[in-house]
Every structure is written in structure tokens, then in C-alpha cells.
Chains A and B, each alone.
Chain A
Amino acid sequence: MQPFAYQAPASVGEAVALLADPVCGARPFAGGTDLLVQMRRGLFAPEMLVDVKRIPELNRLAFDPVAGLTIGAAVSCAWLCDHPAVRQHYPGLIDAASIIGGAAIQRRATLGGNLCNAAPSGDAIPALIVLGATATLAGPHGTRTVPVAGFCIGPGRTVLRPGELLISLHVPTPAPHTGTRYLRFIPRGEMDIAVAGAGAWLALSDDGAMITNARIALAAVAPTPLWVKAAGEALVGQAPTAEAFAAAAAIAQEAARPISDVRGTAAQRRHLVGVLTRRALHGAYQRAKGEACHD
């Protein structure tokens, strides 16, 4: 790795000042599980890493029954997955956070980093999109909040402006009769990058007979994680049946823009979108009914 300077500021203000100073040539550094690997491969040569793990706002993981879940940008996947309230209220988020790397990666990798890395295959991103998550950013000109659905604008590219830092993610409190599921396909059981992934969120009527709202988002089948609005809209007003899920999955397959690469062909990915979307919808439906979900 190229030499660089290291700073570990204790406040958002100090971090933003370093990141916004063009002389520093700085990048934020949290878990490092993507960044250090990319630096060793020569993709980036920052002159400074700003370690954000000592900033209190980025190290906050809090659930409030009204306000929802706040996930600081430096919170590790393992921390998130071990949190009782997250396990209880956000099993769809656990689906995604628990499969980002193995046990050692999990203790360093962050959901915030998964989002900022903006890989099309980032497992956390479809789950965050279907849950309606937002991201709070701090920069030299103040703080703003943006939907996660619009955060990634290309492979490795985000809406973050120069000097801007992701502070936290916010996930609304799940309403009654809603459920979320994220699934991906990989050739081995663990420790791999998604060939394709699908996240689904469903809201049911009080009697569970009708879908009142739905969101579907895909991983690794477009230049960014892809929210397929039309697939969710097609489910609204429908009964939660296998036929309705299959119709929505067909729309997701149409919307996917997969490429062929070392992980899979475009045709295989499009096929997987159909299978994974149907299964994710079924799992979200089970959870919306208050049942455990099994594939």
C-alpha cells in the first residue's frame, strides 16, 4: 500500500474539516474491509485516511419504538446482528447484514460502508431500500438527509459531495402487518459476493387478506442496486398469493439489466431474479403474518 497519513478525529466537525480540505486528499475509513483491499489493488491512493470510529454519532446504534432505528455509519454488522431490538424488529436487515463476509469481516464491516462502497452487489442496500431507509450526511455546508434508494448513482459512485461524510442510517419503525426479507444467490454457502439478490417488503391489510403496499429491490443485476417500483405497485390491492408474487417477480426480471461476468451470465442472473424475488416475497409475507420464515 502507498503510504498515507492517519487521523482519528473525535467529532463530526473535525472529520468534515479534514475530508473537505483538498490539501489533505483524505478518505473516510471505518471497517476498511473494502477500502484497504481497494487501496492494495491500487484503485485509490488517498494521502490521508480519516478513521471515523471514534466519533460518537457514528458509533450509535439505537432503537426507539416511535422514531425507529438509527445505525451510526461506523456500527459493525456483528454489532447490528447481535442487537436484540434489531433482531426482533428488523429481521430483513439481519438477513442482509449477517451475510456480508464471514465472522471476522462481520466484526469490522459496516452497513454504512456497504452503502458508500456502492457496489451493485452490496447486500445491505436492497434491504435498506425496501425498508424505506434514509441516510444522514454531514458536509462543509451542513447536514442533509437523503433516501437510500437514490444514494448510489453508479458502480462505486454515490451522491456524497466532496468533503461529505455519512453519519448514520435511519430505518423507520416497522408498522404492524409488515414484513421484510432479503435473499441472495452465491455458489458457496457463505463468504461470497451475490450473483444476484432480492429484497422484498410487504404491508398487509389488518385481516392479512390483501397487500396494501410493497417494495422490491435487487442486487447485482444493474449498475446500482435497483428499486423496481413497478413490481411493488403491481402487488397493491392483490391477495398475497403465489400467482401475485410470480407476476411481480416477472416485472422485476424485466426491469433487471444484468451483465455477464466471472460470477454469472446475464441469463442466469435474470433467472435468479425471478426465483429470489418470489422467495423474498414469500418470506416477507410470512413475517408480515408474524410467522418465522423458512425458505
Chain B
Amino acid sequence: MTSKTLVSTTINGEPVEFLCEPHQSLLECLRDVLGLTGTKEGCNDGNCGACSVLLDGQLVNSCLVLGVEIEGRAVTTVEGLADWRGLHPIQQAFLEADGFQCGFCTPGILIATKALLDREPNPTEAEIRAWLSGNLCRCTGYDKIVRAVQAAACCLNAASQEVNE
């Protein structure tokens, strides 16, 4: 039996300390140790994207990151998107465009969308589809997801223009 390791990290902007074993994935740590069940387990081998989180702002599959690896780093999960003002504009866009049905893939797709729009505020449809190729959705057929991402990009760009004016 290996002993537990103390991990000091930042999750959704808050400092967090937790104990885990080296073989526990970040996904297991988020869900089973920290109770952050917004991040979903789909395939558990890096194919479906349901467990997508941001690690230091970069999109990763949390099933393929070890919990011990996030020592001193910053993780953003779907729980970190909304704030006291309400839903994040990406979440609002998915709601208005019916960008989900059963919702299981949605946390991962919201996070992947945030990573995309942080990097490329005006993605083409082809770029959106390529970027989301690692996030499987078995309900929507993807079209409504793509429209939601486009709507979110418009909304975020309009908001940043207002700030600049």
C-alpha cells in the first residue's frame, strides 16, 4: 500500500489541499476526494472528453493526469465557470442554443469551448469542429453545439468590445 500524498493546489481560484494516492487520476481526485462531480467520467482513457478541465489554462483530459501532478498548479472545472452574477456567457449560449440534450458531455464541452475561445476569439466553424473532435456527444449531432460556440464567441467579443470602448 502506497502512502497518501498531500497536494496543495488551486481549484477554481481557491487554494485547496487534499490527500491522494499516486495512482489516483485528477478526475478521481476531483470527483471522489473533493466532491466536484461536475467533471464527468466517460471512457476513462482519453477518447471522450467528458472529463476535460483546464490545467494552468490548458485543456487536458483529467483522466490522463495524476492528482499528484497538480501540486502548485491551477485547475479550472465546470464549477468554476459561473460566478455570483450568474452563468458564464458560454453556459448561457449553450442554454439558449439547445447545445445539449442529456448533458453528460456538456461540462467537458463547456470547458473545451472556454479553452478554444481564450485562445481564438473568432474561430471558424472548421476550427470549432476540429477543436471539439476530442469531445464526444451522442445526442446532439454536434450542429447545435457548434452554433452555441459561435453564439458564445459573439457574446464574449461584444462584451470585450464594450470594455474596450
Interface residues, chain A, CB within 8 Å of chain B?
Answer: 1-6, 8, 31-33, 36-37, 40, 49, 51, 53, 78, 101-105, 107-108, 189-191
User: Which residues of chain B from 124 to 145 have a CB within 8 Å of any chain A CB?
Assistant: 129-135
The residues of B that contact A189 with a CB separation of less than 8 Å are 129-130, 133
Residue B77 interfacial (CB < 8 Å): no
Are B69 and A51 in contact, CB atoms less than 8 angstroms apart? yes
Tell whether A37 pairs with B23 under 8 Å between CB atoms, given A102-B134, A189-B130: no
Are A32 and B68 in contact, CB atoms less than 8 angstroms apart? no
Tell whether A40 pairs with B45 under 8 Å between CB atoms, given A3-B22, A4-B23, A33-B64: yes
Are B22 and A103 in contact, CB atoms less than 8 angstroms apart? no
Residue B115 interfacial (CB < 8 Å): yes
Distance to closest chain A CB from B113 (angstroms): 11
Are A4 and B46 in contact, CB atoms less than 8 angstroms apart? no
Chain B interface category by residue count: 20 to 34
Are A104 and B60 in contact, CB atoms less than 8 angstroms apart? yes
Tell whether A103 pairs with B65 under 8 Å between CB atoms, given A3-B2, A190-B133: no
Residue B12 interfacial (CB < 8 Å): no
Are B64 and A103 in contact, CB atoms less than 8 angstroms apart? no
Are B46 and A37 in contact, CB atoms less than 8 angstroms apart? yes
Are A6 and B68 in contact, CB atoms less than 8 angstroms apart? yes
The residues of A that contact B52 with a CB separation of less than 8 Å are 104
The residues of B that contact A103 with a CB separation of less than 8 Å are 59, 112, 115-116, 131-134
Are B65 and A104 in contact, CB atoms less than 8 angstroms apart? no
Are A6 and B45 in contact, CB atoms less than 8 angstroms apart? no
Q: Is the interface of B mostly helix, strand, loop or mixed?
A: mixed
Are A36 and B25 in contact, CB atoms less than 8 angstroms apart? yes
Beyond A6-B5, A104-B52, A108-B60, 14 extra complex contacts between A and B, CB < 8 Å? A5-B22, A6-B66, A36-B25, A49-B22, A51-B69, A53-B69, A102-B133, A104-B59, A104-B60, A105-B46, A108-B61, A108-B65, A190-B133, A191-B133
The residues of B that contact A105 with a CB separation of less than 8 Å are 46, 61, 64, 134
Bound Cα distance from A271 to B64, whole angstroms: 35
Residue of B5, B46, B132, B133 with highest tally of chain A CB at under 10 A: B46
Tell whether A6 pairs with B44 under 8 Å between CB atoms, given A103-B59, A108-B61: no
Residue B99 interfacial (CB < 8 Å): no
Residue B49 interfacial (CB < 8 Å): yes
Distance to closest chain A CB from B47 (angstroms): 7
Bound Cα distance from A6 to B66, whole angstroms: 10
Q: 1/0 per residue B95-135: CB within 8 Å of A?
A: 00000000000000000100110000000000001111111
Distance to closest chain A CB from B20 (angstroms): 10
Are B2 and A101 in contact, CB atoms less than 8 angstroms apart? no
Tell whether A3 pairs with B1 under 8 Å between CB atoms, given A104-B52, A104-B59: yes
The residues of B that contact A101 with a CB separation of less than 8 Å are 46, 134
The residues of A that contact B45 with a CB separation of less than 8 Å are 37, 40
Residue B92 interfacial (CB < 8 Å): no
Bound Cα distance from A190 to B68, whole angstroms: 30
Contact of B134 among A8, A31, A36, A191 (CB under 8 A): A191
The residues of A that contact B112 with a CB separation of less than 8 Å are 103-104
Bound Cα distance from A272 to B85, whole angstroms: 55
Tell whether A32 pairs with B65 under 8 Å between CB atoms, given A4-B23, A101-B134, A189-B130: yes
The 7 closest A-B pairs by CB, nearest first: A102-B134, A6-B22, A190-B133, A37-B45, A102-B133, A1-B23, A107-B58
The residues of B that contact A37 with a CB separation of less than 8 Å are 45-46, 64
